[in-house]
């Protein structure tokens, strides 16, 4: 273990003292308060909108609607003036495309007055028939235009149908909502024609590009600050209409405008995991060899923007199977556009695939892990490439031992603890390892401290801590001597935080920049009187001191090296990106979640007695933050498995449980015992550190693990999430 492998979160002090500044918390002189008023219908047009009372309410500075808005210059330039196929253009016209679509922006001098004024706005509509129910809109099913691979076949089409043993079933997941604890929020202002945003964004550079497009200004003129994010889980991957609205308001008033969404609006205006129906077909020999696998998914999108995710992708490569078919379709509905939610499509897909694998194992009378081992993929059959590394078997073994898999009996309902039925289940997860071009500046200050700069954000996993660990490791400094500057524009360009790619992208860039910086230091040291004549290869740099490995008496402190050269610092800025060599391999993280449930079938109560989450993520840079991320991903998967569902009243086309009392997410008491296990073996190909990514795969596979455990406990197979108590009690009779 390296000295940085278990360091505390470097932003821990700020977060436990309340001094970490989230977007709406920047102290901004003259800031005024704004909120959005939403439509009360799901589809149609605004007939009239009465803003008069609001305008005359005390403290109100502006009420902006489609009738009086100064439309951003970029609206005209957008490729389709009906705004289809692109993000919603707020206040563009009178059309209503989803329930709670913003129809007015209210700005007042205090928070309380703004809230009250907003309640005075009333609109009448020309209502049109809306469509919010996926099952009833199948006729609108379509291919995703931009998705090259949406129909995939290997071997015989739907080859599973020719197998000795066939299993078919449909699986459904409801709409789930990210719901980070921090509400979506922004402080918007203008410096002349330059927009300035303090906003909740997972990608500073992406937000700059989006805002530049809307207002028709150069991206370089857009200033974005997003230094602390109170979670996001994907909802910060889009620049949303509320951010544009705040900028429109700030421009009109020429004052900074603070806009914080209500929790209710978090369910309607900033994306969600889409309702998805999946069809699985599995074929196998009686001995348990998979011969065919078909995975089809139909998911919702909005009426104005196509959205897709990798729901069926995992089925193409995770098991050794000759005949594989996958198909993906979307159905436009009258809702806001979905956005990738943690473990995006893979979490949805693994629910269907890993439940189907469990069901097939039962059909074959095999232990579910035995069945998976019989179909272990030695290479990636989709890409016909070798794995860069794969320690999935170690995950199976590590989890089986910790959960006590040997106590599992295949016969459902055959194990009891007191009055509780005991069930064990598992589910496999995976996620690709991506690496995007990233620039990092590494700079030694005159006092010897190291500054690392990158515009990347940290929505919670511990990006700054990871950068510190890698920087300290390479420069031989201790973590306390590393200063991170990130999460804002103007810094060397980093990637959007998403797809588990941050460590691979930014960590590698830190790694490369620091190595270059150390070389620069050593180069300079060879000119120093003390070390003159020592070949650079005989120089070492640690703890801020350059020394000769041949003559340890010869040392020069970095600080004196800098001062003797009259330098106020030494820096390197470098862009780092993936290699051609890496493209010859399939690089994936793997995870396996195990759960032991206790079920009271009379009450439908499911207790999570023990949860074990195992992962092969290559090198673990920081055990502490990685474990935290894995615990958290598992909790997210528990929400998906047991309680999360956005319920829509289709008569009105509106969500009916859009609050934290009715949309349940897990609380502390929901998980009784939780463990994490990492294989922690370096991937030789992925990147210089050998990491493979964690954030997404930490959630993938948890929901099916719970469903499979519930079946093992009760004999009740629930194929539509979440597994609420009513689905257990209705048929189980004990």
Partner 1 sequence: MKNFQIIKALSSSSAVSNISKEKEAMFIAGGTNLVDLMKKNVVAPDKLVDITGLDLAKIEFLTGKVSIGALAKNSQVAEDASIKEKYPLLALALAAGASQQIRHMATVGGNMLQKTRCSYFYNTDMPCNKRTPKSGCGAIGGSNRMAAIFGASDSCIAVHPSDMCVALAALDAAVLVEGPKGKRQIKFTDFHRLPGNTPEKDNTLESKELITSIEIPDNNFTKNVHYLKVRDRTSYAFALVSVAVALDLKNNVINDVRLAMGGVAHKPWRLTEAEEFLKGKTVSEEIFRKAADLSMKGAKAYGGNDFKLTLGPNAITEALTIAASK
Partner 2 sequence: MASKKTNPDKVTENDSNSRRDFIKKSGLLTALALAPPSLVMASENKWDEKIAEYLETVPLSIEVNGKKHNLNIEPRTTLLDLLREQLQLTGTKKGCDHGQCGACTVHVNGTRILSCLTLATMQQNAQVTTIEGLVKGKKLHPMQEAFIKHDGFQCGYCTPGQIMSGIACIKEGHANSREEIREYMSGNICRCGAYHNIVDAITEVKEGGKEL
Q: What is the Cα–Cα distance from 287 to 374, expressed in whole angstroms?
A: 9
Six token digits for residue 498: 């998403």
Binding status of residue 689 toward partner 1 by CB under 8 A:
no
For 286-325, give the DSSP string: TTS-EEEEEEEEEEEEESSS-----TTGGGGTSB--SEEE
Are 638 and 176 in contact by the 8 Å Cβ rule? The answer is: no
112 vs 164, which CB is nearer to partner 1? 112
Binding status of residue 462 toward partner 2 by CB under 8 A:
yes
Name the residue among 423, 342, 359 with its Cα closest to residue 701.
342
Which position has the token pair 């996926």? 134
Binding status of residue 669 toward partner 1 by CB under 8 A:
yes
The binder of 604, among partner 1, partner 2, none, by C-beta within 5 to 8 A per type, is partner 1
What are the residue numbers of the active site?
696
Q: Contacts with partner 1 in 601-620 (CB under 8 A)?
A: 602-605, 607
Q: Contacts with partner 2 in 11-70 (CB under 8 A)?
A: 11-22, 25, 27, 33, 52-53, 55-63
109 vs 147, which CB is nearer to partner 1? 109
Are 168 and 191 in contact by the 8 Å Cβ rule? The answer is: no
CA–CA–CA angle 33, 37, 42 (5° rounding): 155
User: In Å, how far are 22, 273, 299, 327, 329 from 141, measured between CA atoms?
Assistant: 40, 18, 9, 12, 6
The binder of 75, among partner 1, partner 2, none, by C-beta within 5 to 8 A per type, is none
Binding status of residue 229 toward partner 2 by CB under 8 A:
yes
Q: How far is the CB of 6 from partner 2 (least distance, A)?
A: 10
80 vs 726, which CB is nearer to partner 1? 726
The binder of 567, among partner 2, partner 1, none, by C-beta within 5 to 8 A per type, is none
Binding status of residue 172 toward partner 1 by CB under 8 A:
no
Six token digits for residue 539: 């120089």
Are 452 and 467 in contact by the 8 Å Cβ rule? The answer is: yes
Candidates 247, 260, 392, 609; binder of partner 2 (CB under 8 A) is 260
Binding status of residue 133 toward partner 1 by CB under 8 A:
no
The counts of H helices and E strands in the chain are: 17, 29
E-strand ranges in 525-627 read 539-542, 545-548, 555-557, 570-576, 588-600, 605-616
DSSP 3-state of 502: helix
Distance of CA 58 to the CA centre of its chain: 41
Q: Build a one-symbol-per-residue string for 704-733: x at contacts with partner 1 by CB under 8 A, - elsewhere.
A: --------------------xxx--xx---
Binding status of residue 181 toward partner 2 by CB under 8 A:
yes
Six token digits for residue 550: 């041949």
Which position has the token pair 């379509």? 142
Candidates 41, 118, 183, 645; binder of partner 2 (CB under 8 A) is 183
Element (H, E) at 64: strand 60-64
Binding status of residue 656 toward partner 1 by CB under 8 A:
yes
Binding status of residue 418 toward partner 1 by CB under 8 A:
no
Percent helix / strand / coil, the chain, rounded to 5: 30, 25, 45
Q: Contacts with partner 1 in 24-43 (CB under 8 A)?
A: 40
Q: Contacts with partner 2 in 98-157 (CB under 8 A)?
A: 109-112, 116
Omega of the bond prior to 722 within 30 degrees of 0, cis?
yes
Binding status of residue 662 toward partner 1 by CB under 8 A:
yes
Are 38 and 268 in contact by the 8 Å Cβ rule? The answer is: yes
Q: Which residues of 516-528 are buried (b: 16+ CB within 10 A; e: fewer)?
A: bbbeebbebbeeb
Q: Quick one: CA torsion of 493, 499, 505, 506, rounded to 10 degrees?
A: 60
Binding status of residue 417 toward partner 2 by CB under 8 A:
no
Binding status of residue 187 toward partner 2 by CB under 8 A:
no
33 vs 371, which CB is nearer to partner 2? 33
Q: Build a one-symbol-per-residue string for 422-461: x at contacts with partner 2 by CB under 8 A, - elsewhere.
A: -------------------------------------xxx
The binder of 336, among partner 1, partner 2, none, by C-beta within 5 to 8 A per type, is none
Q: Contacts with partner 2 in 591-650 (CB under 8 A)?
A: 624-625, 627-629, 631-636
Q: Contacts with partner 2 in 318-347 (CB under 8 A)?
A: none
The binder of 431, among partner 2, partner 1, none, by C-beta within 5 to 8 A per type, is none
68 vs 162, which CB is nearer to partner 2? 68
Which position has the token pair 């390197």? 572
Q: Build a one-symbol-per-residue string for 621-650: x at contacts with partner 1 by CB under 8 A, - elsewhere.
A: ---------------------xx---x-x-
Candidates 384, 669, 726, 733; binder of partner 2 (CB under 8 A) is 669
Q: What is the Cα–Cα distance from 565 to 524, expressed in whole angstroms?
A: 9
38 vs 495, which CB is nearer to partner 1? 38
Binding status of residue 391 toward partner 2 by CB under 8 A:
no
Binding status of residue 657 toward partner 2 by CB under 8 A:
no
173 vs 524, which CB is nearer to partner 1? 173
The binder of 363, among partner 2, partner 1, none, by C-beta within 5 to 8 A per type, is none
Q: Based on the number of CB atoms within 10 Å of its own CB, is 421 exposed (0-12), middle (13-18) or buried (19 or more)? A: buried
Are 700 and 634 in contact by the 8 Å Cβ rule? The answer is: no
Positions that interact with partner 1 (CB under 8 A) = 40, 112, 115-116, 119, 600, 602-605, 607, 642-643, 647, 649, 651-652, 654, 656-657, 659, 661-662, 664, 666-670, 724-726, 729-730
């Amino acid at each position: 273990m390296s000295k940085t492998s278990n360091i505390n979160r470097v932003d821990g002090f700020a977060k436990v003292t309340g001094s970490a500044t989230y977007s709406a918390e920047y102290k901004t002189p003259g800031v005024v308060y704004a909120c959005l008023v939403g439509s009360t219908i799901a589809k149609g047009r605004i007939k009239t909108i009465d803003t008069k009372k609001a305008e005359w309410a005390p403290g109100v500075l502006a009420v902006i609607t489609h009738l009086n808005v100064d439309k951003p210059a970029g609206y005209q330039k957008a490729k389709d003036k009906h705004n289809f196929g692109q993000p919603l253009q707020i206040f563009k016209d009178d059309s209503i495309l989803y329930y709670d679509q913003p129809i007015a922006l209210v700005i007042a001098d205090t928070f309380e007055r703004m809230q009250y004024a907003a309640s005075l706005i009333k609109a009448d509509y020309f209502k049109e028939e809306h469509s919010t129910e996926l099952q009833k809109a199948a006729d609108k099913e379509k291919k995703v235009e931009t998705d090259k691979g949406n129909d995939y076949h290997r071997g015989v089409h739907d080859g599973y149908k020719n197998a000795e043993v066939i299993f078919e079933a449909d699986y459904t997941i409801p709409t789930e909502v990210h719901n980070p604890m921090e509400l979506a929020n922004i402080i918007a202002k203008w410096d002349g024609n330059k927009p300035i945003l303090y906003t909740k964004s997972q990608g500073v550079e992406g937000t700059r590009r989006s805002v530049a497009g809307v207002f028709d200004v150069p991206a370089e003129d857009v200033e974005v600050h997003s230094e602390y994010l109170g979670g996001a889980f994907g909802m910060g991957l889009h620049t949303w209409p509320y951010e544009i609205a705040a900028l429109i308001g700030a421009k009109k008033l020429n004052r900074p405008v603070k806009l914080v969404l209500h929790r209710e609006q978090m369910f309607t205006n900033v994306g969600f995991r889409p309702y998805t129906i999946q069809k699985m077909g599995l074929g196998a020999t009686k001995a348990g060899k998979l011969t065919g696998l078909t995975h089809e998914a139909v998911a919702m999108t909005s009426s104005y923007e196509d959205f897709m995710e990798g729901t069926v992708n995992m089925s193409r490569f995770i098991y050794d199977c000759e005949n594989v078919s996958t198909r993906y379709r979307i159905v436009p509905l009258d809702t806001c556009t979905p956005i990738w939610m943690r473990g995006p499509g893979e979490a949805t897909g693994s629910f269907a695939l890993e439940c189907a694998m469990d069901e097939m194992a039962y059909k074959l009378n095999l232990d579910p892990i035995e069945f998976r081992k019989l179909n272990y993929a030695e290479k990636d059959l989709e890409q016909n490439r070798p794995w860069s590394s794969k320690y999935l078997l170690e995950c199976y073994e590590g989890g089986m031992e910790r959960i006590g898999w040997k106590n599992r009996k295949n016969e459902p309902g055959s194990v009891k603890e007191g009055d509780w039925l005991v069930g064990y289940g598992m589910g496999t997860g995976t996620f690709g390892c991506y690496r995007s071009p990233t620039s990092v500046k590494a700079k030694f200050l005159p006092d010897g401290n190291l500054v690392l700069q990158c515009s990347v954000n940290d929505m919670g996993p511990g990006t700054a801590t990871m950068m510190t660990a890698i920087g300290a490791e390479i420069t031989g400094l201790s973590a306390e001597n590393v200063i991170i500057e990130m999460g804002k524009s103007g810094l060397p360009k980093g990637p959007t935080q998403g797809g588990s790619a941050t460590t691979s992208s930014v960590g590698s860039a830190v790694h490369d920049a620091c190595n270059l910086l150390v070389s620069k230091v050593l180069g300079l040291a060879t000119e120093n009187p003390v070390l003159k004549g020592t070949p650079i290869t005989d120089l070492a740099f640690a703890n801020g001191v350059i020394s000769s490995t041949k003559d340890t008496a010869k040392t020069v402190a970095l600080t004196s090296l800098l001062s003797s050269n009259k330098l106020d610092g030494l820096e390197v800025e470098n862009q780092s990106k993936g290699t051609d060599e890496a493209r010859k391999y399939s690089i994936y993280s793997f995870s396996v979640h195990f759960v032991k449930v206790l079920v009271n079938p009379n009450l439908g109560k499911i207790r999570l007695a023990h949860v074990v989450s195992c992962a092969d993520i290559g090198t673990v840079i920081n055990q502490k933050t990685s474990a935290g991320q894995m615990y958290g991903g598992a909790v997210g998967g528990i929400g998906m498995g047991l309680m999360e569902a956005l319920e829509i009243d289709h008569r009105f086309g509106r969500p009916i449980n859009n609050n934290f009392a009715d949309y349940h997410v897990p609380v502390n008491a929901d998980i009784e015992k939780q463990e994490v296990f990492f294989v922690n073996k370096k991937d030789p190909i992925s990147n210089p550190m050998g990491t493979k990514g964690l954030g997404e795969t930490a959630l993938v596979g948890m929901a099916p693990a719970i469903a499979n455990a519930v079946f093992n406990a009760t004999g009740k197979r629930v194929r539509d999430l979440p597994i609420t108590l009513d689905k257990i009690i209705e048929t189980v009779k004990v």
